[in-house]
Structure formats: structure tokens, C-alpha cells
Amino acid sequence: MLRRVVILGLILGALAGAAGYIGRTPHDRYALTLRIFHPSAVSGWNASAVMRDVHLRRGQKYVAAVPAGGHVFLDLFRKSETSNTHVASAPADGTPLEVETPADGDYLLRVHPALDNTSAVDVSQHVEPSLALPVEGAKSSSIQSGFGAPRDAGARKHQGVDIFAARGTPVLAAADGLVTSVGVNGLGGNVVWQFRPMRGESLYYAHLDTQLVKAGSYVRRGDVLGTVGNTGNARGGPTHLHFGIYARGGAVDPVPYLVSLAPAKKPLINHRHPARR
């Protein structure tokens, strides 16, 4: 028997977020409350799927979840002008939907009650960083120079972020991955390259004072790769880690990977589809 859905409310909340050159960027957490009734209990429209639009950045970890016993299906789609592309799903058994956003863009969360769901369900969604800050003890405010900032009088653009810390502070692996190169170059000085095979991305750690890993080693998130310095073209300046992320198309902004940025708030849209089994 089909259930009827009445949307009781949308609860919006905001938690404190990142500061620094990025400005105030609250980490928002918000929830949908769905009420599921038998047709005999409520008269109204025959609707059961609820959609929510959200704008996400590449590298953000998006999480949508329901409490144990909440029998709803969760599906995430990437929107385009012509169609919606499926990104990830979670079954109606309380398993959260978790995905590292593959690209900047508009996405659609579909919340679909199962036929056996007859009670209120709280569906929460939030975003969080997918990578660890790669400097021990660093905070979002430690990032003082952003992606795309002009360099060499505008001749080039900054292809990463600078995370400032005292000389000798441990530089940590931001994720699991393979160390592909440990070397020296003119711009970065002492550098370490790490590859994330599941994402097809290379992580770049530069201006190190010391390098404490070898090429070919596999490191886990949080492992020490070296220490903060000011080698390369940073010599004579304040000590910091230059951290970059390179994908198939070139450098990408590391900020969404490292800092909790609030997703854009979009209105709820109720779509009239039958409940899923």
C-alpha cells in the first residue's frame, strides 16, 4: 500500500566554520523531517519522493544519513542541462550515503521512503573535508595564501595553498597513497609527491625542510612525510608548506578538500512518485 508523505519542516542550523583568507565559511548542518502516513490517516496528494538541490565543490565529502530504523532510500545525482547522472546511493537500512564529490556542480539528493516505512524520519545532510590538513596542529586559519593568487607579478598563478607553521613542524600525509617522488626543484625546494589511485590525483608537498619518506613507500593518512621549511623560491621568507592537488586536467583548488565549506542552500522540491520497495 502506498504511503503518503507530509513534509513537516526543514530545520536549518549553522556551526562555526573556517576563517582566514577564505573569510567566514560556516559548516552548515540541516535536516529534513518526513512524516509517513497510511492513506486512511491523511487526505492529500499522492507523493513520496522528496528532492533537495545542493551545490558541492570537488573534494568535499558529502554525507546524508538517517537514524537506525529509518527505512528510506537515498540517491545522489549530478545535475546537468540535459540529464541527471547517478553518483551514489544508500539502501533503506540506515546506511549513510557518503561520497567524495567528483566535481564542482549542482547535485540532487533524492529521499525515497520504502513501502514498510510508517514513522517520522529525520534525514540529515552535511559536508566535511575529505582530506586531513597536512601540517600537524594546523587550523583553517593557518591557510593564508589561496589557490589562483597571482605570482611573479602576474606571470603565473598559485597552484595550491600555503599552510604556515614553525620550522620543523611535521608535514603529514593528507590521505592514504603511494609516494611517487621525493626530490628537489627550483620552485618547491624539497618536495614530496603522493598519488591517490582511487581518485587519480597527485598530492604535492613543497618547501620542506626535511624529507622523511622514500619514493615507492605507501603511506597512510597522518603519516609523517617531512617537516615544514622554506626551501626553493620560499627561501628567506616565512616557513610554510605549499600543498597542491593535481588531477588529469591540471591543478585543482585544495580548499574544499581541507576546510568545511557550507553548501549552498536550495529549496525542497516534492516530486510525486510511488514509494520504492
**Distance between CA atoms of residues 166 and 244, nearest Å:** 19
Average pLDDT over residues 149-172: 84
The β-bridge relationship of strands 121-129 and 25-37 is: antiparallel
Whole-angstrom distance, CA of residue 95 vs CA of residue 153 = 51
**Residues 244, 161: Cα–Cα separation, whole Å:** 7
Cα–Cα distance, 240 to 206 (Å, whole number): 9
Q: What is the pLDDT of residues 52-62, one digit of tens each?
A: 889 999 999 99
Tell me: domain 4-130+260-271, CATH 2.40.170.20, correct?
no
CATH-assigned architecture of domain 140-253? Distorted Sandwich (2.70)
195 burial type by CB count under 10 A (0-12 exposed, 13-18 middle, 19+ buried): middle
* Tens-digit pLDDT profile for residues 208-230: 999 999 999 999 999 999 999 99
Query: How do the domains of the chain map onto residue ranges?
Result: 4-130+260-271, 140-253
pLDDT, residue 213, reads 98
Q: Stretch 179-196: mean pLDDT, rounded?
A: 96
Residue 196 has pLDDT above 50, yes or no: yes
What number is the average pLDDT over the span 241-258?
93
Whole-number average pLDDT of the chain: 78
Specify the residue for cell string 541527471.
84
Give the number of other Cβ atoms within 10 Å of residue 214's Cβ.
9
Residues 90, 100: Cα–Cα separation, whole Å: 14
Tens-digit pLDDT profile for residues 17-71? 222 222 223 334 445 555 444 443 333 334 467 888 899 999 999 999 888 777 8
Average the pLDDT over 236-261 and give the result: 92
